[in-house]
């Protein structure tokens, strides 16, 4: 039997644990990063990976590993953007 868990199990486990998100960004910071994202995309960075590296968020964040850009963008808005 494999010790590996599926991506969905990992995401579910990550979401059920306390989330130490302390980074909150403004809309202006978000828009500035989106300009940088264009160049990061050319380097084959995932959206979440680029965001985490730009704002100094640990790669332990599930966001770092998401492959779907739409899902990553929703995650960013829900967890990091100031309301």
CA distance 48 to 66: 6
Who has greater pLDDT, 65 or 21?
Answer: 65
Question: Looking at the domain assignment, is residue 67 inside a domain?
Answer: yes
Quickly count: other Cβ atoms within 10 Å of residue 57's Cβ. 19
Who has greater pLDDT, 62 or 15?
Answer: 62
pLDDT tens readout for residues 37-80: 999 999 999 999 999 999 988 877 889 999 999 999 999 999 99
CA distance 54 to 14: 22
Quickly count: other Cβ atoms within 10 Å of residue 48's Cβ. 24
Question: Looking at the domain assignment, is residue 66 inside a domain?
Answer: yes
| Domain, as residue range, for 33 | 24-79
Task: Return the SS3 of 81.
Answer: strand
Determine the pLDDT at residue 1: 45
Question: Looking at the domain assignment, is residue 7 inside a domain?
Answer: no
For the chain, the domain total comes to 1
Q: What is the DSSP letter of 62?
A: G
Question: Looking at the domain assignment, is residue 16 inside a domain?
Answer: no
């Amino acid at each position: 039997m494999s010790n590996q868990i599926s991506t969905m199990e990992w995401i579910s486990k990550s979401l059920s644990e306390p989330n130490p998100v302390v980074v909150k960004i403004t809309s202006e910071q978000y828009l500035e990063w989106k300009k940088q994202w264009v160049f990061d995309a050319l380097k084959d960075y995932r959206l979440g990976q680029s965001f985490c590296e730009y704002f100094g968020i640990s790669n332990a964040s599930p966001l770092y590993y998401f492959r779907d850009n739409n899902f990553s963008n929703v995650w960013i808005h829900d967890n990091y953007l100031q309301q």
